[in-house]
C-alpha cells in the first residue's frame, strides 16, 4: 500500500477577509453615472495576493483525485484518460474568443466543425439528424422527451406515460417527468427487459420506452429488436440513453437496433474530462421522421457556406441558449478525427476486453449476478461482505486507501450491495492487475480497517448527516450560524 | 484488429480466441461492420487541420466586437487559467467519494459562497447549464413554491432565454405571459404587472440590468406587487460588485450566468448557470449543493448534501433531472474572484460602466443615432436606435472590420431600427473610435 493523499487544512478564501486589506480609494457611483440608491453597501470579498490564491487552489487540487492520478472505475461514468491535445485545441483563441451571436460569415470554421460533427455522430449512432444543443446527458434525455411529446402532439395524440426498466439511470425517469410524463418502472427479468411484462405494459397511452443498451448491468439486451417491435406496434417511440455507447462503437448502433431517438454523452465517450461534474455535452440524434422537431437553429450547408436555419415551424424551440457546449463539441470532434472509424471500433473492443478480464478475475471474490458475458462494465454484489459485518460502502472506502477511486456503489438498485465497475479502454493490464490485487488484499484485512476507512485520504470518513442537518451552503450561512450561536 | 501482447494475455485468460467472441451477445441482425469515418490523424495532422479550419473564424481580438446579450468578453488573468488547468480538478468526476475529493468540494463551496455574497442569497447551487436553463428551472421551481398555472416574465428579456423558458414551462403545462416595459425607461411597467398579477400566477421574472441594459430601479415596488408569489430576479453577477444585490430586495430566486467570471465566450458554451434561493426554499431547489461538515476526527470537510432532491436518489420525483453541470466553470469563477479580490472586481465593474457611458454618448453624438435609447443608469450594455436600417449598419460595420452590436429590429419591432451594444474592460479607446468612425460614414 503506497498511496497517501496530501492533507492540508486550507481555510476558506473568506477567512482571509478577517485580515483587512488596505481600503483603496474608490468611487462606486463611477463619476456620478450610478445613482447612490442603486448601490450596495458592503462587499465581503477578500483581497489576496495572487501568490496566496495560487497556493490556496494548488493545495486544494492536491486533495482531489482525478483520472490523471489513477484508476477511476466509476461504473456508467466512463472515466477514461482523455488525450491532452483535445483540451489544448479547445483553448485556442479561435475557439474560445468567438461570440455566439456573431455574423455567420465570421464563424464559418465553427459552423463547419459543428456540421461535420453532426454527420459523424449520425454515422456512429445510425441516425439521420443530430442536434448539438443539449448541454449534458440528462439534458439530451430531456430534449428527447420533448421530441417525443412534439411527435405525438403532431399526430394529435396525448400519450401520458413513459416506460423504462428499473435498471435505468436516475436521470431517465427524472427527464420524462420534467416533460410532464407519468413514469412506469418495469421490473427486470434476469437483469434484462422482461419482454412479456413490456408487452402487457404498453398501451395507447405509452409515449416512449427508454433503454440503454448495453444496460447498466453491462448486459447486452439481446431482445432489442423484439422490444423495438413491441414499442413501435403500440405507436410509441424508442429512446436510447447513450451513456453506455463506449461499449458498442462500430459493432452495432442505436439506429441499427431501431431506436428512434438517441443521446450521446460526448464527455464520456469522446474525450472531455469530467471537470469535477461538468461541463459535458449531450447531442441528440433522431431518425428522419423526427428531424423536423429538432431544436432551432439548424446548421445548414450550401456550396461550402454554412448558415443558420430558424424556419422550422414544428421545432420544439430551444432547450438552451445558442449552440450548446461548443468547447466540448470541439474536443469530441478532435477525438473522433484522431481515432477515425477503426480507432473508435478498437476503443470499444478494448473497453469490453478490459471489463471482461476484470470481471473474470473478481467474480469469485464477490458475486456476479445475471450471466457472464459483459460489455464495458459489470456489476458485482458485495453481499458476501455482510457475513463479516461489512458493507459495500466499507469496501469502497478502503479502496481509496490503495490509491484507486471507488466504483459506483448501490446502483443499479436491483443488485444487493451493488459494486459497478467500468475500467475503460485506457487502463493497462498492469493497472487492472494492481486493482485486482488490492481488492483481494482488502478482503483479507481486519474488518475494523474497512469500517474506519479511509485512512490515507485528505479527510477521514465524513459525517454526511451533519451536513444535511447544519445546512451550511456558503460562508454567509456559516457566519450567520456562528453569530446566532454567539448571541 | 491487431492486439497487443497484453490484450492477447487477457483473451487467453478469458479462454477466448478473438475479440469477436466478446461481442457474440449482439444478435446478428443488429450488427454493423465498422464505421464509415475518415481514417485517424496523428496529433500533428489534427492540429494542422483544425488550425486551418478555424483560421476563418474572426475572434474578438481580430476585430473590435460589441456583442453581449448574455455572453460577454472579459479579461481572464493567467493565474485563473493555471488553477483551472490542474489535472486533479479537470479529470475528476462528481465528488461521490468526498474523502478523496475535498479539493473540488471546497472549491465548489467557495463558488457557492462568492455567489451568495454577491447576490445576498442564502443558498447558491453548484451550477446549472447556463442562464437560460437556470431560468427554465426557476419557472418550474416557482410553480413548486407557489402553485398556479401562469408565470409572468418581463418583455425586456433576451429572446433566447424566453424560448428556453417556454420549452421548460411546457413540460409542466405552465403558460408564460409577458409583462411590458416602460417605453421611456425600459424598466418594468408596474401597472401592467399589477394587472397581470392574478391568483393563478406562480411568480414573476425580471432582470437587472435587463436585456436592453438599464438597471431596474423599482425592485421594492415589484416585490410588494408580487406579494406572496415567487419573485425571480435575473442578474449579471459582475454588476453586483457595485449594485444593490437582489437578496436585499427580497428575491426568492436569483438566476444569471457566471461566465463573466473566468470563462471565455466559447461561442456561447459552456457557460455557467447561476442559481440561488432563500434558505426556506432550499428543498425545492434543483441542482447540486455542497455543504460544510466534519470528518470522524472532527476536521472541517465538505460533501454533497440534500441529495434526496436529486435524480440519482429521487428518480421521477426529483426537483430536476440535472446531473452533469458546469462544475469546472464554478471553479474558474471562484478562482477568478479570488484573484481579482474586492478591489480588482469593483474596478473592473466600474470600467464597464465608464466604457458604456462613454461609448453611448459618442454614438449619441452621431447624427441620426440615439444612445442609450432608454433613460436611466445602465451597466455595460445599451440600445442604440437609428434612422438607418440596422441590417445595413451591421453589414457596413463588418465591411470596416468592426463587429457591431446585436440587431434587434425583428425581436422588438416596437423599437424601430435598434441595435444592442455591449462594451467591457476589453475595449480600448481605439476600439471605440473605430466603431464611431465606421458608424459616422454610413449614409
Does the beta-carbon distance from A96 to B268 stay under 8 Å?
no
Q: What is the CATH number of domain B78-335?
A: 3.40.640.10
pLDDT of residue B308: 85
Does the beta-carbon distance from A31 to B354 stay under 8 Å?
yes
pLDDT of residue A371: 83
Among B68, B19, B161, B129, smallest CA distance to B384 is for B68
Among B322, B332, B288, B320, smallest CA distance to B96 is for B288
Set of chain B residues whose Cβ sits within 8 Å of the Cβ of A139: 129, 133, 321-322
Set of chain A residues whose Cβ sits within 8 Å of the Cβ of B82: 54
The residue extents of the domains of chain B are 78-335, 342-440
pLDDT of residue B3: 76
Q: Which residues of chain A are modeled with pLDDT < 50?
A: none
- Which chain A residue has its CA at the smallest distance from B266's CA? A96
Does the beta-carbon distance from B11 to A353 stay under 8 Å?
yes
0.80 exceeded by pTM: yes
Does the beta-carbon distance from A87 to B90 stay under 8 Å?
yes
Does the beta-carbon distance from B320 to A460 stay under 8 Å?
no
B314 in reach of chain A (CB within 8 A): yes
Residue B187: phi and psi, rounded to 5, are -85, 170
Set of chain A residues whose Cβ sits within 8 Å of the Cβ of B116: 473-477
pLDDT of residue B2: 64
Does the beta-carbon distance from B103 to A397 stay under 8 Å?
no
* Pairwise CA distance, residues B276 & B264, whole Å: 23
| Helix, coil or strand: residue B58 | coil
Set of chain B residues whose Cβ sits within 8 Å of the Cβ of A462: 98-99, 293-296, 301, 303
Strand-pairing partners, residue B203, are B151, B230
Set of chain B residues whose Cβ sits within 8 Å of the Cβ of A31: 354
Residue B295: phi and psi, rounded to 5, are -95, 180
Cβ within 8 Å of B, A 284-313: none
Q: Residues A52, A54, A56, CA angle at the centre, nearest 5°?
A: 70
- DSSP per-residue letters across A315-346: ----SSSTTS-HHHHHHHHHHHHHHHHHHHHH
* Pairwise CA distance, residues B384 & B404, whole Å: 11
Number of residues written out for chain A: 487
Does the beta-carbon distance from A138 to B172 stay under 8 Å?
no
A4 in reach of chain B (CB within 8 A): no
B8 in reach of chain A (CB within 8 A): no
B17 in reach of chain A (CB within 8 A): no
pLDDT of residue B312: 85
Our CA-based measurement puts residue B373 at a distance from the nearest CA of chain A, in whole angstroms, of: 16
Does the beta-carbon distance from B167 to A316 stay under 8 Å?
yes
Interface test with A, best of B128, B324, B342, B377 (most A CBs within 10 A): B324
Our CA-based measurement puts residue A387 at a distance from the nearest CA of chain B, in whole angstroms, of: 24
- Number of A/B CB contacts below 8 angstroms equals 641
- DSSP per-residue letters across A40-70: -S--------HHHHHHHHHHHHTTB--TTTS
Q: CB of B340 within 8 A of CB of A22?
A: no
Cβ within 8 Å of B, A 207-266: 219-220, 222, 224-225, 248-253, 256-257, 265
Does the beta-carbon distance from B22 to A10 stay under 8 Å?
no
pLDDT of residue B5: 87
A338 in reach of chain B (CB within 8 A): yes
Instruction: Please return the burial class of A443, using the count of CB atoms within 10 Å of its CB with bins 0-12, 13-18 and 19+.
Output: middle
Set of chain A residues whose Cβ sits within 8 Å of the Cβ of B268: 99-101, 321-323, 326
- Which chain A residue has its CA at the smallest distance from B420's CA? A101
Instruction: Please report the domains of chain A, with CATH numbers, ordered by start residue.
Output: 85-339 (3.40.640.10)
Cβ within 8 Å of B, A 391-430: 396-397, 400, 405-406, 408, 411, 428-430
B114 in reach of chain A (CB within 8 A): yes
Cα distances (Å, whole numbers) of residue A284 to A152, A241, A314, B363: 18, 10, 17, 44
Mean pLDDT of chain B: 96
The helix (run of H) or strand (run of E) holding residue B117 is helix B102-119
CA A324, A330, A331, A332 torsion: positive or negative?
Answer: positive
Cβ within 8 Å of A, B 407-436: none
Does the beta-carbon distance from A62 to B167 stay under 8 Å?
no
Task: Tell me the ipTM for this assembly.
Answer: 0.97
Domain B342-440 in the same topology as domain B78-335: no
Q: What class has domain B342-440?
A: alpha beta
Does the beta-carbon distance from B241 to A43 stay under 8 Å?
yes
Our CA-based measurement puts residue B276 at a distance from the nearest CA of chain A, in whole angstroms, of: 11
What letters, b where the CB count within 10 A reaches 16 and e where it falls short, cover B337-363?
Answer: bbbbbbbbbbbbbbbbbbbbbebbebb
Residue B239: phi and psi, rounded to 5, are -65, -20
Cβ within 8 Å of B, A 37-66: 37-40, 43-48, 50, 53-54, 56-66
A459 in reach of chain B (CB within 8 A): yes
Does the beta-carbon distance from A400 to B99 stay under 8 Å?
yes
pLDDT of residue B1: 53
Set of chain B residues whose Cβ sits within 8 Å of the Cβ of A475: 110, 113, 116-117
Set of chain B residues whose Cβ sits within 8 Å of the Cβ of A225: 27, 29-30
- Which chain B residue has its CA at the smallest distance from A177's CA? B316
The helix (run of H) or strand (run of E) holding residue A348 is helix A326-362
pLDDT of residue A280: 97
Alpha helices in B172-293 (DSSP H): 190-196, 219-226, 246-249
Does the beta-carbon distance from A256 to B30 stay under 8 Å?
yes
CA A268, A272, A278, A279 torsion: positive or negative?
Answer: negative
Set of chain A residues whose Cβ sits within 8 Å of the Cβ of B29: 225
pLDDT of residue B331: 98
* Pairwise CA distance, residues B179 & A335, whole Å: 46
Set of chain A residues whose Cβ sits within 8 Å of the Cβ of B270: 135, 278-279, 325-328
pLDDT tens, N- to C-terminus, chain B (443 residues)? 567 888 999 999 999 999 999 999 999 999 999 999 999 999 999 999 999 999 999 999 999 999 999 999 999 999 999 999 999 999 999 999 999 999 999 999 999 999 999 999 999 999 999 999 999 999 999 999 999 999 999 999 999 999 999 999 999 999 999 999 999 999 999 999 999 999 999 999 999 999 999 999 999 999 999 999 999 999 999 999 999 999 999 999 999 999 999 999 999 999 999 999 999 999 999 999 999 999 999 999 999 999 888 888 888 888 999 999 999 999 999 999 999 999 999 999 999 999 999 999 999 999 999 999 999 999 999 999 999 999 999 999 999 999 999 999 999 999 999 999 999 999 999 999 999 999 999 98
Closest CB from A31, A44, A279 relative to B270:
A279
Set of chain A residues whose Cβ sits within 8 Å of the Cβ of B166: 317
Does the beta-carbon distance from A96 to B164 stay under 8 Å?
no
Interface test with B, best of A62, A223, A459 (most B CBs within 10 A): A459
pLDDT of residue A22: 63
Amino acid at each position: 500500500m503506497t498511496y497517501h493523499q496530501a492533507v492540508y487544512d486550507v481555510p476558506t478564501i473568506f477567512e482571509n477577509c478577517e485580515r483587512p486589506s488596505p481600503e483603496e480609494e474608490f468611487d462606486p457611483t463611477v463619476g456620478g453615472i450610478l445613482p447612490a440608491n442603486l448601490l450596495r453597501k458592503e462587499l465581503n470579498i477578500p483581497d489576496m495576493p495572487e501568490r496566496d490564491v495560487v497556493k490556496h487552489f494548488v493545495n486544494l487540487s492536491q486533495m482531489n483525485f482525478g483520472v490523471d492520478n489513477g484508476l477511476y472505475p466509476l461504473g456508467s461514468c466512463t472515466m477514461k484518460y482523455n488525450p491532452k491535445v483535445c483540451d489544448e485545441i479547445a483553448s485556442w483563441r479561435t475557439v474560445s474568443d468567438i461570440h455566439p451571436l456573431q455574423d455567420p460569415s465570421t464563424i464559418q470554421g465553427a459552423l463547419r466543425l459543428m456540421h461535420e460533427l453532426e454527420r459523424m455522430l449520425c454515422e456512429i449512432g445510425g441516425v439521420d439528424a443530430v442536434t448539438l444543443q443539449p448541454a449534458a446527458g440528462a439534458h439530451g434525455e430531456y430534449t428527447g422527451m420533448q421530441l417525443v411529446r412534439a411527435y405525438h402532439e403532431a399526430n394529435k395524440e396525448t400519450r401520458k406515460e413513459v416506460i423504462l426498466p428499473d435498471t435505468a439511470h436516475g436521470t431517465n425517469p427524472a427527464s420524462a417527468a420534467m416533460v410532464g410524463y407519468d413514469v412506469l418502472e418495469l421490473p427486470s427479468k434476469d437483469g434484462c427487459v422482461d419482454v412479456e411484462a413490456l408487452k402487457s405494459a404498453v398501451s395507447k397511452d405509452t409515449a416512449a420506452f427508454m433503454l440503454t443498451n448495453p444496460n447498466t448491468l453491462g448486459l447486452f439486451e439481446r431482445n432489442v429488436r423484439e422490444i423495438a417491435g413491441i414499442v413501435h406496434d403500440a405507436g410509441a417511440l424508442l429512446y436510447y440513453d447513450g451513456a453506455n455507447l463506449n461499449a458498442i462503437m462500430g459493432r452495432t448502433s442505436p439506429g441499427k437496433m431501431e431506436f428512434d431517438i438517441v443521446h450521446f454523452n460526448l464527455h464520456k465517450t469522446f474525450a472531455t474530462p469530467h471537470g469535477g461534474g461538468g461541463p459535458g455535452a449531450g447531442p441528440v440524434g433522431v431518425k428522419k421522421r423526427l428531424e423536423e422537431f429538432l431544436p432551432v437553429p439548424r446548421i445548414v450547408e450550401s456550396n461550402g457556406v454554412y448558415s443558420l436555419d430558424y424556419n422550422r415551424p414544428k421545432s420544439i424551440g430551444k432547450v438552451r441558449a445558442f449552440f450548446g457546449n461548443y468547447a466540448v463539441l470541439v474536443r469530441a470532434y478532435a477525438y473522433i478525427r484522431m481515432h477515425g472509424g477503426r480507432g473508435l471500433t478498437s476503443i470499444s473492443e478494448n473497453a469490453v476486453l478490459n471489463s471482461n478480464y476484470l470481471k473474470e478475475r473478481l467474480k469469485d471474490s464477490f458475486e456476479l449476478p445475471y450471466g457472464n458475458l459483459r460489455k464495458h462494465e459489470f456489476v458485482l454484489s458485495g453481499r458476501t461482505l455482510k457475513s463479516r459485518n461489512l458493507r459495500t460502502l466499507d469496501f469502497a472506502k478502503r479502496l481509496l486507501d490503495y490509491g484507486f477511486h471507488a466504483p459506483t456503489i448501490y446502483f443499479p438498485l436491483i443488485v444487493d450491495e451493488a459494486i459497478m465497475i467500468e475500467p475503460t479502454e485506457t487502463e493497462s493490464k498492469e493497472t487492472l492487475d494492481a486493482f485486482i490485487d488490492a481488492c483481494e488484499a482488502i478482503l483479507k484485512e481486519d474488518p475494523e480497517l474497512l469500517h474506519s476507512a479511509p485512512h490515507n485520504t485528505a479527510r477521514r470518513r465524513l459525517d454526511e448527516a451533519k451536513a444535511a442537518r447544519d445546512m451550511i451552503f456558503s460562508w454567509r450561512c456559516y457566519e450567520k450560524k456562528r453569530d446566532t450561536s454567539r448571541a | 484488429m491487431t492486439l497487443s501482447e497484453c490484450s492477447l494475455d487477457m483473451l487467453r485468460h478469458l479462454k477466448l480466441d478473438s475479440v469477436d467472441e466478446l461481442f457474440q451477445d449482439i444478435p446478428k441482425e443488429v450488427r454493423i461492420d465498422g464505421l464509415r469515418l475518415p481514417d485517424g490523424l496523428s496529433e500533428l495532422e489534427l492540429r494542422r487541420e483544425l488550425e486551418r479550419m478555424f483560421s476563418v473564424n474572426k475572434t474578438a481580438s481580430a476585430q473590435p466586437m460589441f456583442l453581449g446579450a448574455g455572453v460577454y468578453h472579459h479579461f481572464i488573468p493567467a493565474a485563473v487559467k493555471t488553477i483551472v488547468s490542474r489535472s486533479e480538478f479537470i479529470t475528476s468526476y462528481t465528488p461521490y467519494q468526498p474523502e478523496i475529493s475535498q479539493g473540488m468540494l471546497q472549491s465548489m463551496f467557495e463558488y457557492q459562497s462568492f455567489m451568495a455574497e454577491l447576490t445576498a442569497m442564502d443558498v447558491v447551487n453548484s451550477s446549472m447549464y447556463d442562464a437560460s436553463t437556470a431560468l427554465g428551472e426557476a419557472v418550474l421551481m416557482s410553480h413548486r413554491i407557489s402553485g398556479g398555472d401562469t408565470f409572468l416574465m418581463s418583455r425586456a428579456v433576451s429572446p433566447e432565454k424566453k424560448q428556453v423558458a417556454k420549452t421548460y414551462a411546457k413540460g409542466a403545462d405552465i403558460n408564460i405571459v409577458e409583462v411590458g416595459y416602460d417605453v421611456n425607461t425600459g424598466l418594468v411597467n408596474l401597472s401592467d404587472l399589477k394587472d397581470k398579477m392574478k391568483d393563478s400566477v406562480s411568480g414573476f421574472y425580471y432582470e437587472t440590468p435587463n436585456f436592453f441594459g438599464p438597471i431596474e430601479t423599482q425592485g421594492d415596488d415589484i416585490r410588494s406587487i408580487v406579494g406572496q408569489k415567487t419573485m425571480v430576479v435575473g442578474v449579471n453577477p459582475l454588476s453586483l460588485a457595485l449594485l444593490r444585490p437582489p437578496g436585499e430586495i427580497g428575491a426568492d430566486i436569483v438566476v444569471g450566468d457566471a461566465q463573466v467570471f473566468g470563462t471565455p465566450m466559447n461561442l456561447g458554451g459552456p457557460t455557467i448557470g447561476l442559481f440561488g434561493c432563500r434558505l426556506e426554499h432550499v428543498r425545492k431547489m434543483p441542482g447540486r449543493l455542497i455543504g460544510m461538515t466534519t470528518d470522524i476526527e472532527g476536521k472541517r470537510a465538505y460533501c454533497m448534501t440534500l441529495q434526496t432532491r436529486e435524480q440519482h436518489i429521487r428518480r421521477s420525483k426529483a426537483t430536476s433531472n440535472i446531473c452533469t453541470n458546469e462544475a469546472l466553470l464554478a471553479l474558474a469563477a471562484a478562482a477568478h474572484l479570488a484573484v481579482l479580490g474586492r478591489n480588482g472586481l469593483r474596478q473592473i465593474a466600474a470600467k464597464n460602466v465608464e466604457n458604456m457611458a462613454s461609448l453611448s454618448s459618442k454614438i449619441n453624438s452621431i447624427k441620426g443615432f440615439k444612445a442609450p435609447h432608454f433613460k436611466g443608469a445602465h451597466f455595460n450594455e445599451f440600445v442604440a436606435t437609428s434612422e438607418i436600417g440596422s441590417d445595413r449598419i451591421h453589414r457596413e460595420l463588418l465591411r470596416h472590420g468592426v463587429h457591431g452590436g446585436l440587431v434587434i429590429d425583428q425581436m422588438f419591432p416596437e423599437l424601430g431600427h435598434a441595435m444592442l451594444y455591449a462594451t467591457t474592460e476589453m475595449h480600448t479607446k481605439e476600439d471605440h473610435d473605430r466603431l464611431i468612425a465606421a458608424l459616422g460614414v454610413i449614409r
